[in-house]
Chain A
Amino acid sequence: MDAPILSISGLRAVFRIPGRDIAAVQDVDLVIGSGETVALVGESGSGKSVTSLSIIGLLPKKIGRIAEGSIALRRRDGTVTELTGLDPESLRKVRGNDIGMVFQEPMTSLNPVYSIGEQIAEPIRIHLGKSHRDAATDAVRLLAQVGIPDPDRRARQYPHELSGGMRQRATIAMALSCDPTLLIADEPTTALDVTIQAQILDLLAALQAQRGMGILFVTHNLGVVAEIADRVAVMYAGRIVESGPVSEVFTRPRHPYTAGLMRSVPRLGQATTLKAAGTPLPTIAGNVPSLALLPKGCSFAPRCALAVDACRTAVPPLFAATSTQQSRCLRWEDL
Chain B
Amino acid sequence: MDAPFLSVRNLTKHFAPTAFSRGPAVRALQDISFDIARGQVVGLVGESGSGKTTIGRSVLRLIEPTSGEIRFDGVDITSLSAGPLARQRRKMQYIFQDPFASLSPRMTIGQILTEGLDIQGIGNRRERRARAEKALAAVELPVDAYDRYAHEFSGGQRQRIGIARALTLEPEFIVADEPVSALDVSIQAQIINLLRDLQVRLGLTMLFISHDLAVVEYICDTVIVLYLGRIMEVAPAAALYARPQHPYTRALLSAIPSLDPLARQGRQVLKGDIPSPANPPTGCVFRTRCPVALDACAGVVPPLRATSDGHLKACIRDDIA
Contact = CB atoms under 8 A, between A and B. Distances in A.
B257 A227 contact: yes
Interface stretch (A151-159, A173-181, A283-291): A283-291
A199 B212 CA distance: 17
A272 B190 CA distance: 17
Contacts of B217: 266, 268-269, 271-272
A197 interface: yes
B158 to A, nearest CB: 11
A44 B184 contact: yes
A197 B255 contact: yes
B241 A280 contact: no
B259 A280 contact: no
A166 B276 CA distance: 14
B15 interface: no
A195 B218 contact: no
B186 A163 contact: no
Of the listed residues B184, B190, B211, B213, the one surrounded by the most CB atoms of chain A closer than 10 A to its CB is: B184
A11 B60 CA distance: 52
Interface stretch (A2-10, A28-36, A50-58, A217-225): A217-225
Interface stretch (A85-93, A257-265, A306-314): A257-265
A223 B257 contact: yes
A326 to B, nearest CB: 20
Interface in B6-27: none
B265 to A, nearest CB: 12
A284 B191 CA distance: 11
B247 to A, nearest CB: 12
A140 B73 CA distance: 58
Nearest to A219: B257
Contacts of B242: 269
A165 B270 CA distance: 12
Given A43-B186, A198-B269, A265 B192 contact: no
Interface string A164-208: 111000000000000000000000000001111111011000000
Interface string B271-301: 1011000000000000001000000000000
B269 A44 contact: no
Interface residues of A, number: 45
B150 to A, nearest CB: 15
B154 interface: yes
A281 interface: yes
B174 to A, nearest CB: 18
Contacts of B190: 283
B155 interface: yes
A224 B218 CA distance: 21
B26 to A, nearest CB: 15
A288 B259 contact: no
B185 A264 contact: yes
Contacts of A195: 47, 251-252, 255, 269-270, 274, 289
Contacts of A223: 256-259
A43 B184 contact: yes
Nearest to B196: A280
Contact of A260 (B186, B215, B258): B186
Contacts of A281: 189, 192-193, 218
B258 to A, nearest CB: 6
A261 B196 contact: no
A318 B261 CA distance: 27
Contact of B259 (A44, A265, A274, A283): A265
Interface string A32-49: 000000000001100000
Contacts of A220: 184-185
B189 A199 contact: no
A281 B219 CA distance: 10
Contact of B218 (A166, A199, A262, A266): A266
Contacts of A227: 257-258, 264
A222 to B, nearest CB: 6
Nearest to A224: B257
Interface string B190-232: 1011001100000000000001111101100000000000000
Contacts of A43: 184-186
A198 B218 contact: no
Contacts of A63: none
Contacts of A264: 185-186, 188-189
B253 interface: yes
B256 A193 contact: no
A222 B185 CA distance: 9
B189 A272 contact: no
B192 A194 contact: no
A282 interface: yes
A275 interface: yes
B104 interface: no
Given A198-B255, A223-B256, 17 more contacts: A44-B155, A44-B184, A164-B48, A193-B47, A194-B47, A195-B289, A197-B255, A198-B270, A226-B261, A266-B212, A266-B218, A267-B260, A269-B242, A276-B238, A280-B193, A280-B197, A281-B218
8 contacts: A194-B256, A195-B252, A223-B256, A227-B258, A264-B185, A264-B186, A268-B241, A280-B193
Q: 9 tightest A-B contacts by CB?
A: A223-B257, A271-B218, A193-B47, A266-B214, A43-B184, A284-B186, A272-B238, A271-B217, A283-B189
Interface of B: 47-48, 154-157, 184-190, 192-193, 196-197, 211-215, 217-218, 237-238, 241-242, 251-253, 255-261, 264, 267, 269-271, 273-274, 289
